[in-house]
Amino acid sequence: MLINENVEILQGGSLAACAKLESCVFSLTRQRPVRLSAVEFPEDFAEDIPNAIPDFLGTEKTAEGTAERYVRTVRTSDLDVNGHMNNLRYIEMFWDAHDSAFWQAFPAREMEICFLTQCREGEAISVRSRTEADRVHMAALHADGRLAAVASFLR
């Protein structure tokens, strides 16, 4: 379900920074994360064709006005190779804040997540939510109140 990309940034011919980017594909028809191989691409698909994908939502980076839905303890199976909670687990964590009846009544068509601080094994993460007419704003907080991540789901 994850797409991993290694990135190297060179400055004056020398390595200045390196990173691993990790992302996932969210199926609008299935309403859940899916493997890239599950996406049906058209035969004439090309990566360099301009698209009409709008800019990021600009998710607010606050837990203001949210109510706690549940507390999730980060498990061993949630971790990536660096010992942090895997990005896909954040999506599942936010998705699990509401039951399937909620998501059927609020069909999310767009999602944006901002990862702010790492979650580590054994941490208790407060998963919070605020529902508006066209958006569900979610926040994940460490026990000390620091934001771990925020997300917006739009109809």
Span 9-22, pLDDT tens digits: 777 888 877 766 66
DSSP state of 84: B
Strand 147-154 versus strand 135-141 pairing type: antiparallel
Picking from 39, 26, 40, the residue whose alpha carbon sits closest to that of residue 153 is 26
- Both tokens of 7, joined, read 């990135």
**Quick one: pLDDT band at residue 68, thresholds 50, 70, 90?**
very high
pTM confidence score? 0.67
Please name each of the domains of the chain with its CATH number. 2-41+65-154 (3.10.129.10)
pLDDT(113) > 60: yes
3 state SS of 38: helix
